[in-house]
Amino acid sequence: MKKFTGGLCRREPCARGRWPVAVTPDAADLETLFADLAKNISKPGATNIVIVDKVNPDFEIVSVGTPPAPTILADCPEPEFSEDCRQPVRVKLEGCQDTAEYDLGDVYLESQGKILELDLTLKNICPGKRVALAVILTEVDSYGTEYPRGMKILTVPAHFRTGCQDISVRCIKFVLPDDLNVSCSARCCERNFKARVISHYIDSGFDCCGNVQVTV
């Protein structure tokens, strides 16, 4: 491999930033040159560059304008949901034909589900106290995993009878679409649920420094 000495160097960049020039290199020289080139390419460029503007003495900054505060108006449509329309089946009647029989094929019920109504009895409720009641419903698959199916929170009015009374709470309804069935894909299969109840008095009679408004 020949090496020029007129300001050119063989491998490392020259002082003036020029890169090596090889004349009639063999395979080993090419491998070395490309290895050096790869090392230099992988090096980072200039970092931590800071540009400082210096105003010419002939100019004077008299004021600095405040940049505008633009606003963006976005029109967000309300989410929509609609039931899918079933594809129609074409039926043809001849011009002079009074009656016809046509098989429309299999027809499956759409948007099916169940409505579950729960009843419960609150025991020994004191007179003059409302009750906060929550019912949490989950569905259970064959592995015992629970899936949320709804939560109802009710205010049970106070009674004013003498002594504690049992209060019956009826018709707590939950809507259970069939597309959430985790037991099987058939409509007529058994579905399993768990219901949890949370309840407590709303009115306690405690008044912290006269700041609590008591409403029954």
- What are the tokens at 47? 């970092």
Q: Is the pLDDT assigned to residue 2 strictly greater than 60?
A: no
pTM for this model (two decimals): 0.57
Identity of the residue numbered 87: Q
Q: Is the pLDDT assigned to residue 126 strictly greater than 60?
A: yes
In a domain, 192, yes or no: yes
In a domain, 83, yes or no: no
State which residues form the domain around 158. Answer: 113-201
Find out whether 137 and 115 touch, Cβ atoms under 8 Å.
no
In a domain, 85, yes or no: no
User: Residue 116 has what pLDDT?
Assistant: 97
In a domain, 53, yes or no: no
Distance, in Å, from the CA atom of 23 to the CA atom of 135, rounded to the nearest integer, reads 88
Reference 152, options 111, 183, 191, 116; nearest CA is 116
Q: At 212, is the pLDDT very low, low, confident or very high (cuts 50, 70, 90)?
A: low
Identity of the residue numbered 75: D
In a domain, 95, yes or no: no
Reference 170, options 154, 189, 191, 188; nearest CA is 154
Chain-centroid distance of CA 140 in Å reads 24
In a domain, 102, yes or no: no
pLDDT in tens, 80-123: 888 888 888 888 888 888 888 888 888 888 888 999 999 999 99
In a domain, 54, yes or no: no
Q: Is the pLDDT assigned to residue 7 strictly greater than 60?
A: no
Taking residues 22-49, what's their average pLDDT?
Answer: 75
Tell me, what DSSP letter sits at residue 6? S
- Domain count within the chain: 2
Distance, in Å, from the CA atom of 168 to the CA atom of 154, rounded to the nearest integer, reads 13
